Structure 1
Amino acid sequence: MASLLQRIAAAGKTYEGNEAGSREDLINLSRARSFWAESAMSAHIRLAVDVQLFQHLRDFGDIGLSAQTLAEKTGLDVLLLGRLIETSSFHATALSNGLSEEIYQHSISFGYDAARPSFNAFPEYFKKIGYKQPTSLTDGPFQDAHRTQLPFFDWLVATPPNLQHFGSFMAAYRAGKANWYDPGFYPVADRLIHGFDSSMSDILLVDVGGGEGHDMTLFAAQHTFHPGRIVLQDREPVIASVVETLKADSPFEAQAHDFFTTQPIKGARAYSLHSILHDWGDDDGVRILENLKPALRPGYSRVLLNEIVLSEENPTLAAASMDMMMLAHFAVRERTEADWKAILERVGLKFVKIYTYPGVAESVIEAELAS
């Protein structure tokens, strides 16, 4: 215990100094608490979402409110409220105010309603399949828990508001963390902008499977004077939605593309795939990269995989937790450096380098055509 307290104190000092990764260090240290409290704590916070407890605390601010008043506001019996939260007066904190925001309210709901049942199903599910690795997108712990044959994303679409809650969960997961194109992470100026050759293509960057363009909007804002064009690619329904709201001065263009088909843009300086391959098994990952490979120009085009690189010795809490999310919901896994190199080798791509940033779960794996 003394050692743990010393480590927490040291991490607290680095956090006060706003050092990169210090917040994540404190979160990792918080794992050293009794597991038996976790189930009750998660149930309490999910109930708090339903009764808007955090919003009521926020609205009263520093003034605070009594247990009786909060019970009336939330509809909770005052004795039940006292058992759930053992105090007689209530005041907002920075944490409770943060949890009152919609993005975190949705995240709590997703974690408890969609994800937690999958993990609760682990013991019976793995016993039933003989404690083997699941391999099917439609017959894993998630399907067993939710009594469905739908793949995870199809189920989200079919059961509103789960899709919206999942979107908020992923946004909250990345909130406050450096993006791959931020200073100190991947050297955009040195590796992409320097050496850009418009005779190869007038396109600097293609965001493959980039959703609604969040990354490309921020990339363009971060690198205002970049050369060349930026193109966002995703499935037809996603791009149709993007095009509806795309402004004339948008920093990127939008193009419908299925990454299981041949990449139509040839010779771009870089192709970015952000958290794409981790949703797929090795064979499908190879298919995605094989469809990208013919578009690459030797010694010029970069492939940038923004993915978790799982440490085999000391995985972080964020990386290990995401690996379990992939096991529960997609029957796939996060990959180690050796795993990523093996996939690249199968495709005929050369591993160049892994770029990391303190406190950020995802790394940038840079690859290019093998000579």
Structure 2
Amino acid sequence: MSDIVAQIEALTKSPPQDPAERLALYNAMRKLSAAIEDPFDTIYRVHDSPMILIFSQVASDLGIFKKLSEVAPLQITGQLLAVQAEADPVLMSRILRFLASYSLIAETDEDTYKANNITHTLARPAFRAGISHGFNVILPCLQATPKFLADTKYQNPADMNNGPFQRGHNTTLPGFAYAAQHRELMDNFNLWMSETHDSQSTWLDVYNFAGHVKDTTPETLIFVDVGGGIGQQCALLKRTHPNIPGRVVLQDQNVVLEHALVSEKEGVETMAHNFWEEQPLKGARVYYMRNILHDYPDDKAVIIINNIVQAMNKDSVLVIDEMIIPNKGAHSRSTGTDMTMMAALAATERTDRQWDALLEKAGVRAAEKKTYNQATGASVVVLVAAN
């Protein structure tokens, strides 16, 4: 046993850098932790879990993660942090002890702390936005979920106008409409979503875009990003394949396109379009949708798919970039996201089997399905029109 403990201690000082090895070790350590915890470990882990989010928000408000990260590798006392934050030293010490007990910061001595790898992560602006999004937007929905499910006799939520979100936020508006009226919430969401995909594998790592759009000219319509937001994926495409000739088009509503990151200067056209309507651009080599269908139940998703399929020709594909939850052995990141979608949007992340059922309803077939992030289940589903 002492040898195992020593090996684990050694790994804390020199963890694997390969993402696959790191994920495998992380999953193994979670299983080990679950196997060895006693009943009181279990109940406190479950009971106290909301506190991690709540006091991470408090710590972010107080600038604790940011300050410790800025002075790293130096250590700093709780007394000094309290002075700098203009906070009660007793309150500050209690918060710091809590954060250290969950390894969000490192305790080096009595009332003395420094940044660890988790502190540096939580100090990043987009991760602070993620904490704020979780606390201000998602937590109220989750609190409302148990009673909502009981009141609806445990039916699967499928009405975006009547779900835990509306109860949690005391509104009749769907989630995105509500957030649009609260600019800070939307800004945090956009910043958080951008960060979750930065420095990660992308759909272009598993889909051979260049192979599909070969033999094109500057007039060829090679890429249409349907509901593409402010254009992160168009920008990624142009960075990855700067020399492929052809038209790249970003489609979304005007209110979104006003904030687009890309323009004709970067070789990207913008076009106002509502994906509930007929797709006006015909015969594109690649139509692309990211994280749209998970916002809607199957009957609505079929309408969106068919509006694009009707514009496709024999050289066209529709690349759907979304999560595929494995039918068995799903990772907690994907199941947690699924619960978030249910509480916030009365929506869903689909399993592999559920994707097949949706595509059958839409009358299309998947030419390929490939996962590019094993932890989150982020995948591409490449569709061709049924013959």
Does the TM-score normalized on the shorter chain lie above 0.5?
yes
Q: 1:249 to 1:21 in 2, by over 3 A?
A: farther
Instruction: Find the aligned partners of 1:291 and 1:61 in 2 and give their Cα distance.
Output: 53
Instruction: Select 1:150's aligned residue among 147, 166, 173.
Output: 173
Verify: 1:225 aligned to 2:243, yes or no. Answer: yes
> Using the alignment, how far apart are the partners of 1:60 and 1:41 within structure 2?
23
Q: Which residue among 118, 138, 160 is the counterpart of 1:137?
A: 160
The CA RMSD measured in Å over matched residues stands at 2.9
Q: 1:118 aligns with which of 120, 126, 141?
A: 141
C-alpha distance 230-339 of structure 1, shift in aligned 2 (>3 A): same
Which residue in 2 is equivalent to 1:44?
A: 55
Partner of 2:73: 62
1:12, distance to aligned residue in structure 2 (A): 7.8
Secondary structure at the residue paired with 1:264? coil
Q: Tell whether 2:206 aligns with 1:188.
A: no
Give the CA deviation at 1:54: 1.6
Offset of 1:21 from its aligned partner?
A: 6.9
TM-score (norm 1): 0.88
Q: Measure how far apart 1:14 and its partner are.
A: 11
Partner of 2:273: 257
Identical columns (%)? 27
Alignment correspondent of 2:100: none
| Partner-residue secondary structure (3-state), 1:249 | helix
Instruction: Indicate if the aligned counterparts of 2:263 and 2:270 stay in contact, CA closer than 8 A.
Output: no
**SS in structure 2 at match of 1:273:** strand
Contact 1:326 1:333 in 2 (8 A): yes
Change (3 A) 1:203 1:323: same
Residue type of the partner of 2:209?
V
Write the distance in 1 (CA, Å) between the matches of 2:62 and 2:13. Answer: 36
Q: Distance in 2 between matches of 1:138 and 1:39?
A: 26
State which drifts further: 220-229 or 143-152.
220-229
Deviation of residue 17 (structure 1)? 4.2
Correspondence for 1:331: 346
Tell me the residue number matched to 1:301: 316
Alpha-carbon spacing, 1:352–1:90, altered in 2? closer, same or farther (3 Å): same
**CA offset at residue 11 of structure 1?**
9.3
1:174 aligned residue: 197
2:71 corresponds to 1:53: no
Amino acid at match of 1:73: Q
Number of matched pairs: 362
Q: Corresponding residue for 1:206?
A: 224
Using the alignment, how far apart are the partners of 2:273 and 2:241 within structure 1?
25
Higher RCO (CA-CA < 8 Å; seq separation 6+): 1
| 1:48 shift after superposition | 0.5
Aligned residues of 2:227 and 2:275 also touching (Cα < 8 A): yes
What does residue 314 of structure 1 align with?
A: 329
- Match of residue 100, structure 1, among 116, 123, 126: 123
Query: CA, structure 1 residues 22+62, in 2 after alignment: closer, same or farther (shift >3 Å)?
Result: closer
Is 1:56–1:73's contact at 8 Å kept on the other side of the alignment?
A: no
Q: Which moved more, 1:361-370 or 1:24-33?
A: 24-33
The aligned amino acid for 2:80 is T
- More moved, 154-163 vs 92-101: 92-101
For residues 71 and 123 of structure 1, the distance between their equivalents in structure 2, rounded to whole angstroms, comes to: 38
CA offsets 1:335-362 (integer angstroms, 9 cap, x no match): 1222222222222222211011243531
- Alpha-carbon separation, structure 2, partners of 1:171 and 1:24: 25
- Conserved? CA contact 1:28–1:316, under 8 Å: no
Question: Does residue 205 of structure 2 align to residue 161 of structure 1?
Answer: no
Give the gaps of 5 or more residues in structure 2: 35-44, 98-109
Distance 1:276 1:248, change over 3 A: closer
- The residue type paired with residue 16 of structure 2 is E
Query: Is 1:88 aligned to residue 99 of structure 2?
Result: no
